[in-house]
Amino acid sequence: MKELKTHFKEFWVELGLQTTKKETMELLNLQYTFTEFKKAVKLLNDANIDVIVHIIDGLPYESKEDQIQTIKDVSALNIQGLKIHILNILKNTKIGELYKEKTFDVLTEESFIDIVTTQLTYLKDDVIIHRIGADSKSDDLIAPLWVRKKMSIVDKIDTLMEESNVFQGEKF
């Protein structure tokens, strides 16, 4: 009897895009452009490697429209997964210093829920959402403190989408 040998491997690459807004990419000192990011995704696509993209909502000086544009730009790429983070203001960081100087405001929980709900309507429906929210050490977190309720926030996004009768990909 022949032995059936199977090897199952799951392999993907996660890429931290954060935003597609040029000015914010420069503020974050990302050292790459969205054009370069797109080339990296294409190389991974050509190698048949799944891509998961990370974005951050609530970045300094970004509007709701900027954050929605990031999702529109991401949806134009051949990606298989997405992680949507909320900006966590942490101690001993450049963004933490900007926040202490009161040069920008953090998103409220309600604003984040509204933005993510809208973003999801622009995200291709075949993209898997791997995460919504972010985790930071409590001792390091300056703001927003509501991020600690990650599962509650996901539930509220689900509820808002259902009540608003919207779904992932409807505007793609």
Phi, psi of 132 (to 5 degrees): -130, 120
pTM over cut 0.85: yes
Give the C-alpha distances (Å, rounded to integers) separating 165 from 5, 37, 108, 129, 158.
46, 33, 23, 19, 10
For the stretch 83-130, pLDDT in tens is: 999 999 999 999 999 999 999 999 999 999 999 999 999 999 999 999
